[in-house]
A and B are shown apart, each in its own frame.
Chain A
Amino acid sequence: MSKILDELLYSDSHEWVKVDGNIAIIGVSDFAQAEMGDITYVDVPAEGDEVSKGEEFGALESVKASSELYSPVSGVITEVNADLDATPELINEDPYGAWIIKVEMSDKGELDSLLNAAAYAEIAK
């Protein structure tokens, strides 16, 4: 059984969102990292790039597969986790600590369409 944190929101494509004021901190769930296996590379966008909800913003590569990352919200990327470049394994070790991007949201209303922990638990099995 994979770990799901109650205080986060989730997308059905297995990203998690932590809301901090107007900023959405985005990573991938424990379920996603377990399915992917050892992550070997994280392809991330640049700071300042715009993302829109449901749109691809990057990709994870593992020894098993490559998988796209989809943004759960729309807005502008304010920060990218630079540590993942040299140490992609952080996502395997601590999926909820190893955030990937931070986004300044243009429409906080989009958060309403994300899943809570209980609803996500239905998908992540």
Chain B
Amino acid sequence: MNFGVDTGFYPLGSCTMKYNPKINEEIASHPAFAGLHPLQPESTVKGAKEVEEGLGKALCAITGMKAFTFLPCAGAHGELTGLMLIREYHLAHGDTARTKVIVPDSAHGTNPASANVCGLEIVEVKSGANGLVDVESLKPLLGPDIAAIMLTNPNTLGLFEREIGEIAKLVHGCGGLLYYDGANMNPLIGKVRPGDMGFDVLHLNLHKSFSTPHGGGGPGSGPVGVAERLLPCLQNVHTSGFHGNFGVMLRAYAYILMLGRENVKMVGPLATLAANYIKESLKDDYKLPIPSVCKHEFVFDGLINDGARDGVAGATTLDVAKRLLDYGFHAPTIYFPLLFHQALMIEPTETESLETLDAFIDVMHRIAEEAAKDPEMLHSAPHNAPIGRPDETTAARQPVLKYE
């Protein structure tokens, strides 16, 4: 009944559910590492310090940043740390009026939430019809009150922000900084560096892009990298005690060293190839609102033929997701992003074989056929899972809470 990335395909968009090599677990559970205590004298943990330094160097090489702090224990924690660094930077320059952060309407919800927690005001910038940040809409928002813009590139729709050079020029021009949300770093690994795009601060999700377990499988790690001019701020921002999630850092370092310099370069391209392969194979059955080459993930907007007819409602994205369970696949992310009504967000990652991708495509074709013929069968899916559809509405309206 348990299902994980070890047991099957897990195409959860925006989550980068890549395979977590078992050797990483073995290394992390080695007594020499597992027995470390965070209050040990530094002279007794030189090996661990070497791991931290080595990982920092590797991440600098991959992202184009100058230094990393490993204190943040997850992505949103990294965002908060990064924004505090940005605030610190402006204040250190006597620039006290920068209280606003620009966030695109397609951003992950944590971006505005982190800015809010950091005491900054959020300004939304609209996406254009091509799903990318609209530079013309950005221009009037820029001014002496802008602390930073937060961007994910590729964005939530899996599309590369092609105007990033122009955006960086404009934001820097008004005295603001660029924050890179590393949630979607996977397709860039080995190909493009956020530092080269003009980003000043970023966080990475080691638990996504660098193959450490997540999603109930393990704790996260959201190290923050900074460009040269923010180096002095690092020592003034502390967002956790001790040294971060060392076990997670160790797994990520093992993953990077195992791939090696040459193979790390294959991560981004293979993840991108897998996503485009699925997208192109299914676009005659599922609506593709923005037809262009994607990066690591893409979003469909429901079925092309949902089987709706007189008195029979068509099959929805929820129905498709539930039916996938019958065929032994984890469902993709659904109803996110909110830009589309029937969003179905698929991210395969580079660790899936061609056989797995083909099996998934085959099942998605089959579900589209079933929807066209008999949408009611899909309304009541899953049929083969241990439970049917839990009553989410009652659970939300009248939750039964227990504190035992």
In-complex Cβ contact of A89 among B341, B392, B397 (8 A): B397
Pairwise interchain contact A88-B335, C-beta atoms closer than 8 A: no
Pairwise interchain contact A41-B335, C-beta atoms closer than 8 A: no
What is the size category of the interface that chain A forms with chain B?
A: 10 to 19
- Interface residues as binary, A74-88 with B (CB distance below 8 Å gives 1, 0 otherwise): 000000000000001
Distance from B161 Cβ to chain A, minimum over Cβ atoms (Å): 24
Q: How far is the CA of A89 from the CA of B391 in the complex (A)?
A: 14
Give the residues in chain B near A89, CB-CB below 8 Å: 393, 397
Residue of B nearest to A86 (CB): B397
Pairwise interchain contact A63-B392, C-beta atoms closer than 8 A: yes
Pairwise interchain contact B341-A63, C-beta atoms closer than 8 A: no
What is the size category of the interface that chain B forms with chain A?
A: under 10
Pairwise interchain contact A40-B338, C-beta atoms closer than 8 A: no
Pairwise interchain contact B396-A41, C-beta atoms closer than 8 A: yes
A65 touches B (CB below 8 Å): yes
Give the residues in chain A near B338, CB-CB below 8 Å: 65, 67
Pairwise interchain contact B341-A88, C-beta atoms closer than 8 A: no
Give the residues in chain B near A88, CB-CB below 8 Å: 397
Chain A 16-71 residues near chain B, CB threshold 8 A = 35, 38, 40-41, 61, 63-65, 67
Residue of A nearest to B392 (CB): A63
Residue of A nearest to B335 (CB): A64
Pairwise interchain contact B397-A40, C-beta atoms closer than 8 A: yes
Give the residues in chain B near A41, CB-CB below 8 Å: 396
Residue of A nearest to B336 (CB): A65
Give the residues in chain B near A65, CB-CB below 8 Å: 335-336, 338
In-complex Cβ contact of A40 among B335, B336, B393 (8 A): B393
Give the residues in chain A near B393, CB-CB below 8 Å: 38, 40, 63, 89
Give the residues in chain A near B336, CB-CB below 8 Å: 65
- Interface residues as binary, B325-340 with A (CB distance below 8 Å gives 1, 0 otherwise): 0000000000110100
Distance from B319 Cβ to chain A, minimum over Cβ atoms (Å): 13
Chain B 327-375 residues near chain A, CB threshold 8 A = 335-336, 338, 341
Task: Report which B residues bind A (CB closer than 8 A).
Answer: 335-336, 338, 341, 392-393, 396-397
The 3 closest A-B pairs by CB, nearest first: A40-B396, A38-B393, A63-B392
